[in-house]
Structure formats: structure tokens, C-alpha cells
């Protein structure tokens, strides 16, 4: 069997959820969209279900996968519904929906439902992606409140730059939110992971942690609270071949790495088709049998190469960690043209093995 795999530590996931919930000071929806950022939505949701207040996914398709697997806690659709015909299905499966656009408000007005549907009304407080304009927000809230088949429950918004801890924009978005929602009642939800960790003023009734649940810091720099997270995924494989090369020899596609001295190269069964970043540079950290090592040469589809010169004990069968407990995902990202979010979401083909 190919030795490439992703170990998923569900106890670490629960630890991170508890930290998120404690920081938020209220309730927390565990964001498990995009197959739980590559960690497997069903297994992650099942592991969190006994203690989670609920879950958030992007769309009804993702929610139904969880319902079919027996997840019973509330599930919020972060992009809401895409057409009015989905609305009865939302009720049937007990889903909550974000409403972020005027056409969705009109659809609700024109679609009577047998029971109230729970709605989170999203404000565009400055990110300018989705959300109701600040000037129209209070009016829209009241229009929804007037509908017997809608229970408009939570005022929400989303930050564009909460991961930049010295950026004034986040405070501006908060001020816009306070002004646009003043006097409306209902509950509040603003925080994603970087806001929960870095912007205490944004904490409110409901948090929406995603990335931090998986134990990865949303910040490029060191951060005391983010340091308390436990990595959930360990991506690992093994050395499957070794080359002893003299100085001046190229390694791999495009000869991006050329040996400067006699060099031992280890070939690892892991490539960009498994989700390892194709554009990781020479020197990107790995761990070889638990010791720091580095990538040498361009990543191929199914294999990559590491420098074993300083690892005389290592050989065929040695364990190589690509990221996880020994190699923070953020360090791999710092050497690749990607983000921590995309790094995790990109994992595929490798089997996910669960512990805890």
C-alpha cells in the first residue's frame, strides 16, 4: 500500500473547538464546509456533535450529507439558499439559512412555509462580497420580522482583514455593524477564526470558527492564543527510494535543485495530486524520522524529493511528515504560493485515518 496518508486527530479537534467556544464567550458553530477544510466533514461533525452548539456549511448539498450521516444539531447555510425552491427542503431538514441578498428577501416574502424558517441576516459591513447594504439593513430586518413564516434570529457580518492585527479596517467594520443594527434586537454573530483570536471586541452571541478548529493559526506571525491550538491533520508518507549523487547533478523536473556537494536524495511518495503545494520552494521544511529536513527539487504529481545528506540513518521506509505536529502548516505555506486555508482544502487522494 502506498504509505501516503493524513492522520486526523479528533481529540485535537475537540480541544480547538473548546478553545474557540471559551474565547467567544457564547455559542459557537463549528464551520465544516469544504469537507471540514479537507478533514472529512462527517467524521469531524460526529466527533464534535456531543458538545458543539451547531455546524455551518456553505450550501444545502453539504448540509444534507451531514443530515444523512445522522448529524442532528443545527446547521447554518453560510451562502444561504440559491433558489426559492430549496426553502421547503430547508425546513424539512431543520436547516438555518443566512440571507445576504435582496432577492432572497423577496423569495421569502413570496414563498409561504408551513413553519417558521430560522434566518441569520447578513450585513455587508465593508467586505463588499455578500450582505445587505448598511442603509437598507434595519428595513430588511423589519420586513423579515413581519413574515409569519420567518424567524429572523441573528444579525451577522464577516470581516475581510481580521487576520491583519494592525489593520484599522476591522474596527471600522465593527462600527458600521453597530450603527446599522442599533436597536434591532436579536442575537449577533461576527467572528471567524482570526477575529475570535485577535479581536476581542468582536466577540458576541455566536462565533463561527473554521480554520482554528483544525489547529492552524490564521496569522502569519506568532500569536499567543493561536499557539494554544493543536494541529489536527498530520500529512505523512515514507521514503521509497534513495539516490547518492555527486556535486553538480540536477534533481527532478526542470532541474530546479542542483547538488552543490555529494548529496543523498530521498524520494517520498507524496505529490501535488495529494494536495502538497506544487510550488513549494527548495528548503521547505519537512520532518524525517522526527528530525528537521528540507525539500530539494520541484514537487511532482505523485512524488517529491528531500535532502537526506544530514540524515545518515534515514533510508527507504523512513517516515516523512509534510505538516502536522512537527512541521506547522503555516511554515509550509510560508515557503509555497498558497494559504493555510487552501493547503488544507487541497488534500485529496490520500486516505484520511482518524484517531481519538
Residues in touch with ligand PLP (CB under 6 A)? 31, 33, 78, 158, 192-194, 208-212, 218
CB of 29 to ligand PLP, least distance (A): 8
CB of 195 to ligand PLP, least distance (A): 8
For ligand PLP, the closer of residues 80 and 285 by Cβ is: 80
For ligand PLP, the closer of residues 162 and 352 by Cβ is: 162
CB of 218 to ligand PLP, least distance (A): 6
Q: Can you tell me the distance from the alpha carbon of 99 to that of 108, in angstroms, rounded to the nearest whole number? A: 10
Cell numbers describing residue 166: 494592525
Question: Is 227 within 8 Å of 314 (Cβ atoms)?
Answer: no
Number of H helices and E strands in the chain, helices first, is 11, 18
For ligand PLP, the closer of residues 174 and 303 by Cβ is: 174
* Strand, coil or helix: 255: helix
- 253 labelled catalytic: yes
- Please, what sign has the CA dihedral across residues 24, 30, 33, 37? positive
For ligand PLP, the closer of residues 36 and 239 by Cβ is: 36
Question: One of 37, 238, 253, 341 is an active-site residue; which one?
Answer: 253
For ligand PLP, the closer of residues 4 and 153 by Cβ is: 153
For ligand PLP, the closer of residues 78 and 314 by Cβ is: 78
CB of 142 to ligand PLP, least distance (A): 23
Q: Can you tell me the distance from the alpha carbon of 70 to that of 91, in angstroms, rounded to the nearest whole number? A: 16
Question: Is 237 within 8 Å of 320 (Cβ atoms)?
Answer: yes
- Please, what sign has the CA dihedral across residues 291, 222, 32, 22? positive
Question: Is 299 within 8 Å of 312 (Cβ atoms)?
Answer: no
- 272 labelled catalytic: no
CB of 207 to ligand PLP, least distance (A): 9
Q: Can you tell me the distance from the alpha carbon of 192 to that of 213, in angstroms, rounded to the nearest whole number? A: 11
The strand ranges marked E within 146-284 are 150-156, 187-189, 206-207, 233-245, 250-251, 257-258, 263-268
Do you know the residue count of the chain? 356
Question: One of 17, 33, 137, 341 is an active-site residue; which one?
Answer: 33
User: How far is C-alpha 128 from the geometric centre of its chain's CA atoms?
Assistant: 21
Residue nearest to ligand PLP (CB): 210
* Strand, coil or helix: 211: helix
CB of 129 to ligand PLP, least distance (A): 9
Cell numbers describing residue 331: 511554515
Catalytic center residues: 33, 253
Amino acid at each position: 500500500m502506498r504509505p501516503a496518508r493524513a492522520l486526523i486527530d479528533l481529540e485535537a479537534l475537540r480541544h480547538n473547538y473548546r478553545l474557540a467556544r471559551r474565547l467567544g464567550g457564547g455559542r459557537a458553530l463549528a464551520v465544516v464546509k469544504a469537507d471540514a477544510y479537507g478533514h472529512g466533514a462527517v467524521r469531524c461533525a460526529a466527533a464534535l456533535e456531543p458538545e458543539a452548539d451547531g455546524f455551518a456549511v456553505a450550501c444545502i448539498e453539504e448540509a444534507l450529507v451531514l443530515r444523512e450521516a445522522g448529524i442532528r444539531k443545527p446547521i447554518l447555510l453560510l451562502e444561504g439558499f440559491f433558489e426559492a425552491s430549496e426553502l421547503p427542503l430547508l425546513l424539512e431538514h431543520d436547516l438555518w439559512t443566512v440571507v445576504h441578498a435582496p432577492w432572497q428577501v423577496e423569495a421569502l416574502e413570496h414563498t409561504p412555509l408551513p413553519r417558521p424558517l430560522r434566518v441569520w441576516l447578513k450585513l455587508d459591513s465593508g467586505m463588499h462580497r455578500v450582505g445587505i447594504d448598511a442603509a437598507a439593513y434595519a428595513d430588511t430586518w423589519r420586513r423579515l420580522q413581519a413574515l409569519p413564516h420567518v424567524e429572523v434570529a441573528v444579525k451577522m457580518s464577516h470581516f475581510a482583514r481580521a487576520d491583519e492585527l494592525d489593520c484599522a479596517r476591522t474596527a471600522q467594520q465593527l462600527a458600521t455593524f453597530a450603527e446599522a443594527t442599533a436597536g434591532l434586537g436579536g442575537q449577533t454573530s461576527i467572528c471567524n477564526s482570526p477575529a475570535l483570536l485577535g479581536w476581542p471586541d468582536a466577540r458576541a452571541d455566536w462565533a463561527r470558527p473554521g480554520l482554528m478548529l483544525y489547529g492552524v493559526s490564521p496569522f502569519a506571525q506568532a500569536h499567543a492564543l493561536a499557539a494554544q491550538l493543536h494541529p489536527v491533520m498530520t500529512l505523512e508518507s515514507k521514503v521509497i527510494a534513495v539516490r547518492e549523487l555527486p556535486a553538480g547533478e540536477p534533481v527532478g523536473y526542470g532541474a530546479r535543485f542542483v547538488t552543490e556537494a555529494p548529496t543523498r536524495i530521498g524520494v517520498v511518495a507524496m505529490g501535488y495530486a495529494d494536495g502538497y503545494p506544487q510550488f513549494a520552494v527548495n528548503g521547505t521544511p519537512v520532518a524525517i524520522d522526527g528530525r528537521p529536513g528540507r525539500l530539494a527539487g520541484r514537487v511532482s504529481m505523485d512524488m517529491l524529493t528531500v535532502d537526506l545528506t544530514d540524515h545518515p540513518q534515514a533510508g527507504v521506509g523512513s517516515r516523512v511528515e509534510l505538516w502536522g505536529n512537527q512541521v506547522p502548516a503555516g511554515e509550509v505555506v510560508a515557503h509555497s504560493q498558497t494559504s493555510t486555508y487552501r493547503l488544507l482544502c487541497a488534500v485529496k487522494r490520500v486516505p484520511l485515518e482518524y484517531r481519538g
